[in-house]
Structure 1
């Protein structure tokens, strides 16, 4: 009996002196103690910038920090040996590990090829704005530093459906590659911009059977080499969903095990797109609930003007909680990133209460909220900006409360625009379990809520220490619980 809690163990700018894999190995025991049951690691393979990239501009999927390629042997996060050591250390603590899989694109090719292309309109990828012509493009990947170890597969122009750079013209544009697999784009879930198959770099051509087979072989090799427990699939709305189903099913059959699969389908407007993707993929994957994140973002920005009773409206957590991975922020939404929508600091403890203490969804904690982060980058206007993300002070305690006490029947009191709450009744198998949550985005809050008759006469205290009262549950299992203005209180059975 455990509450699952994931940790995104990185952020976009992680480049600390202590390599990430080494840090994870040294912290494995403390992560277990905190209540973390699963860790999502960043892309572990070599990128176009070697040790200077977060990894999403992936070059060689087989180079996990083992070969001298792109001016380094290790990746930003360390070597292959350090990676597998970290995985083993986490496994020894009963913590599962999710590998980040970037299948949409490759980057940093080794050789030029002459490629037949057509230009397409930026805002409508279905609209061609040129006839077929030939360019020189970086589309041939030979991985000379690896020299055929693990795989001799060569990626060439037949393996890609589009590219964004013509070397001979020194021109950036979106070029649709005209190959034997069809002149148009692949069939992908997103119809944004007409067809959102093309996102960036060298767009992988999933209509090429050789490509699909190579990626399945890589999946086998990755599991056999590293022993990971599941995968976070990047940018799935840009990828042929039939291939992803084929890939997941292949690994499941090959190794006779269910892998934990969570897909990133970033949606900003309508939860229907998330529900449709679950149906399209037969419920084989969990999805990050980006719609809940945007509700948190709006709540943080608008203060007491936000109606808290609607915090779960238009979210996957509301409509399909069994498939929802809930989160407050991630590497895409952190400050200075393309989808910067960082939840305001005052609301972060409230948001974490909303994902950690409820039955619905599996929460995923963001690295800076536990450890903090500091970095410098440029904003959209080119100005240098220094960012300091402060950890959420109450988060380690909240995680331990989730681990030990957040069990049992849930009663909701999401019935007021400025103050909401809920209770968890607890279970016999978890001694002292059960809790009551009250949070407010306005003045001091109070909610009369039911804990259940089994708690009659028990004394509850605010585990976070924000309120000093001791609250007695009446003979019918009810009590009035409180919280401070713009804050959250977590009421638990008084020890002793």
Structure 2
């Protein structure tokens, strides 16, 4: 732990200065929902219309923010938006074979955003700023092939190639932004149309500066990820992306961003981009969470410092702990599940999650948390105070991609309600043994608190039950606590606030005052 001391003390925690929900929710725990999976579609409605119809229910459940999929026009007609073609087209123009995006039309998107605001639910925009795809024309320019495993190593001589680097947006025809992209605005691409060759080519020539030095050092230099890689050092690029950021917030009424793939983007640009947007009136608390995908917290902490409190970070290390706990069953020591996580080391910089669209089985970052551990995982992120939790649509709604069983979904809904109603106040841990841990939230003047036990024990003895003696506070003396995840069960609290709480193997139990 001494290794991390210099990172833990600085900078100012990001979440402390951010809006986590409308003012109406200031007295309740904030909660984010990722409202999409990778493949899911509604059978009869556009995605935006589906979201709009769900807003009243989500607001009643206690969600204060919703992270929506990228609303921009994709390179492919059915693209999710991560194949970003035109950030300024929200499903308004006939481009790439369609007027609407995969998710719906501009009017449907804005209608859903309006309804969300009316129900005191904040909208977060997924900002895909690293790359573009689906160029309108080829251009000829000089480039050099580089090694895919070490981008600092050249794999051949410079040559003239042709790339789809001209973005004219003819369907939009200059509306909202007159900026048109060409090869001078990019650093690299992975396709030479002239020779029909796939490789990573770093663009060379006047104005090109090579790879950015302010990116992740994986693969030597991880500036290039996919598609046509944007050069964030170019003044015209900076101006257009800054204008877009302000425009999308004004247009949609959104309060902030989820920023995609930041390890590949010049972090000095991103810090400046966020801080510039925050200098606009009424945006000083604009929300921002960055996706830096690594299970190694020692790689994320330098980024936390570099961002100077301008963005929170998804707690991928904690997700990987939950995945490993799921994968190893009773062999995993539950007492270590929070270790080396961002939530443990920098809790007010951590956005915690169990799964997302990339971790689903078959996806590029597959690391799914199995259903046998899903309730325990959500109990950890929803009922503990560390971090700001994000629930995944794939766990909350019936869908063919993730297939949550009825018990898991029911338990998740109960845990969401427990977060809203009970999970407040100081935390006390009870690390009982390798396969059973407990913790207590003491509550506050408005909320009674709760006692939680988690088990990953595989046991075929129907008579075995975990029990942990925990203190819920002397103000509960003489009261009875009930279980909210299962029927029946009562715990009497003695005069000093102690009670013996129980949990079945391989499950979770949450106890609250009757």
Q: Aligned pair in 2 of structure 1 residues 155, 465: CA closer, same or farther (>3 Å)? A: same
Q: Which moves more between the two structures, 153-162 or 220-229?
A: 220-229
1:60 paired residue number:
86
1:174 counterpart (195, 200, 210): 200
Match of 1:463 among 473, 484, 487: 484
CA distance in structure 1 between the aligned counterparts of 2:507 and 2:403, rounded to whole angstroms = 22
Give 1:27 shift. Answer: 1.2
Query: 1:379 corresponds to which residue?
Result: none
Partner in structure 1 of residue 512 of structure 2:
492
**Equivalent residue for 1:437?**
452
Residue 415 (structure 1) shift: 4.3
8 Å contact from structure 2 (residues 190, 198) kept in 1? yes
**Are the equivalent residues in 1 in contact too, given 2:382–2:415 (CA < 8 A)?**
yes
Alignment of 1:68-467 (within 5 A): 68-257=94-283, 258-268=285-295, 270-375=296-401, 388-390=403-405, 392-430=409-447, 433-442=448-457, 443=459, 444-465=465-486
Shift of 1:183: 4.7
| Structure 1 contact 176–183 (Cα < 8 Å) conserved | no
Deviates more, 1:357-366 or 1:440-449: 440-449
2:229 aligned counterpart, secondary structure: strand
Tell me, yes or no, if the aligned pair for 2:456 and 2:505 is still in contact at 8 Å. Answer: yes
Residue deviations 1:379-417 (CA, integer Å, cap 9, x gap): xxxxxxxx6344522111211111111111211113421
Structure 1 unaligned regions, length at least 5: 376-386
Q: In the alignment, what sits opposite 1:20?
A: 47
1:57, distance to aligned residue in structure 2 (A): 0.3
Contact 2:291 2:313 in 1 (8 A): yes
Cα offsets for 1:81-139 (capped at 9, x unmatched): 11111111111111111000000000000001002100000100000111211011100
CA distance in 2, matches of 1:196, 1:370: 34
Residues 131-183 of structure 1: CA deviation (Å, up to 9, x unaligned): 21101110000000101111110100001000001111111100001143445
* TM-score, scaled relative to structure 1: 0.94
**1:478 corresponds to 2:498:** yes
Q: Distance in 1 between matches of 2:431 and 2:319?
A: 18
Aligned-pair Cα RMSD in Å: 1.2
SS in structure 1 at match of 2:467 = strand
- What is the match of residue 384 of structure 1? none
Aligned equivalents of 1:190 and 1:413: distance in 2? 38
Please identify runs of 4+ aligned residues in structure 1 that moved more than 2 A.
Answer: 179-184, 387-393
Structure 2 partner of 1:48: 75
Tell me how many residue pairs correspond in the alignment: 478
What secondary structure sits across from 2:142 in the alignment? strand
Provide the C-alpha distance between the structure 1 equivalents of 2:351 and 2:507, rounded to a whole number of angstroms. 24
- TM-aligned CA deviation for residue 272 of structure 1: 1.3
The 8 Å contact of residues 188 and 195 in structure 1, kept in 2 or not, is answered as no
Unaligned ranges ≥5, structure 2: 1-26, 460-464
The alpha carbon displacement at 1:314 in A equals 1.0
Task: Determine the structure 2 residue equivalent to 1:381.
Answer: none
Question: Which has the bigger relative contact order, CA under 8 A and spacing at least 6?
Answer: 2
